[in-house]
Amino acid sequence: MRAGRWLGSFGTGLILPFEIIYLHQARGFPTATAGLVLAAVMGTAAVVTPFSGALLDRFRAKPILIAGNLANALGYAGFAFAGRPWQAFICSAVGGAGFGIANTANQVLSLTLISPEQRATSIALRRVAGNLGLGSGATAAGFIIAAAGNLRAFQALYLFDGLTYAVFALVVLAGIPNPRLANAAPAGDRGTGFRAVARDRLFLILIAANIVFVMAGGALFTNILAPFAKAHTPVGPGEIGVVVFSLPAPGTAVMSRSTHDGGVRYALTCAVGDLSRRPPTGVAGR
Task: Dump pLDDT digits (tens) for 212-252.
Answer: 776 666 666 667 777 777 777 777 777 777 776 666 555 44
Domain of residue 269: give its range. Answer: 2-178+192-273
Look at residue 186 and tell me if it is in a domain.
no
CATH number of residue 18's parent domain: 1.20.1250.20
At residue 285, the pLDDT reads 39
9 Cβ contact partners less than 8 Å away, ≥ 6 residues apart: 129, 130, 131, 132, 133, 134, 137
Look at residue 286 and tell me if it is in a domain.
no
24 DSSP 8-state letter: I
Predicted TM-score of the model (pTM):
0.76
Look at residue 257 and tell me if it is in a domain.
yes
Look at residue 183 and tell me if it is in a domain.
no
Cα separation of 141 and 196, whole Å? 43
Q: Which of 39-43, 126-130, 158-162, 225-229 has the highest mean pLDDT?
A: 158-162
Look at residue 184 and tell me if it is in a domain.
no
Using DSSP, how many helices (H) and how many strands (E) does the chain show?
15, 0
Look at residue 281 and tell me if it is in a domain.
no
Q: Are 162 and 76 in contact (CB under 8 A)?
A: yes
Task: Dump pLDDT digits (tens) for 62-85.
Answer: 999 999 999 999 999 999 999 999
Q: Are 44 and 92 in contact (CB under 8 A)?
A: yes
What is the three-class DSSP state of 30? Answer: coil
Q: How many domains does the chain have?
A: 1
At residue 181, the pLDDT reads 66
257 Cβ contact partners less than 8 Å away, ≥ 6 residues apart: none
